[in-house]
Amino acid sequence: MVDKKAAKREAKERVTAKGIYALRCTASGEAWIGNAKDLKSAETGLLFALRLGGHINHAMQAAWNQHGAGAFRFEVLEEFDPELPEMTLRDALKDRQKYWRTELKAGAI
């Protein structure tokens, strides 16, 4: 039997990697930049939506459809301190995503 209270407590205590990531298409050279409070979940969700063919970023979905999953690479660009306060984290994610989009001449996810 699963202890629901213990499972909830463990989920709250779980430390997740927070930061900025890129999805790169090696075939076209395109890149898209995103931010996440849980990088692993972001990767899983992003690839799932693309495989289903219904991602809201039409340009990224079109590149995926054209070149296939093998041409794409998920890359963590920057991780943040897990102890960063929520308010600071939210601002840092936005600012650093903007920085990386400019730096890599990339689109947003």
- pTM for this prediction: 0.86
DSSP 71: G
The answer to whether residues 100 and 78 touch, using CB atoms and an 8 Å cutoff, is yes
The 10s digit of each residue's pLDDT in 61-101 is 999 999 999 999 999 999 999 999 999 999 999 999 999 99
Distance (Å, whole) CA 31 – CA 52:
20
The answer to whether residues 68 and 47 touch, using CB atoms and an 8 Å cutoff, is no
> What pLDDT does 32 receive?
98
The 10s digit of each residue's pLDDT in 1-52 is 668 787 677 766 677 999 999 999 999 999 999 999 999 999 999 999 999 9
Task: Return the CATH number of 16-108, one of 3.40.1440.10, 3.20.20.150, 3.10.180.10, 3.30.420.40.
Answer: 3.40.1440.10
What average pLDDT is seen over the chain?
Answer: 93
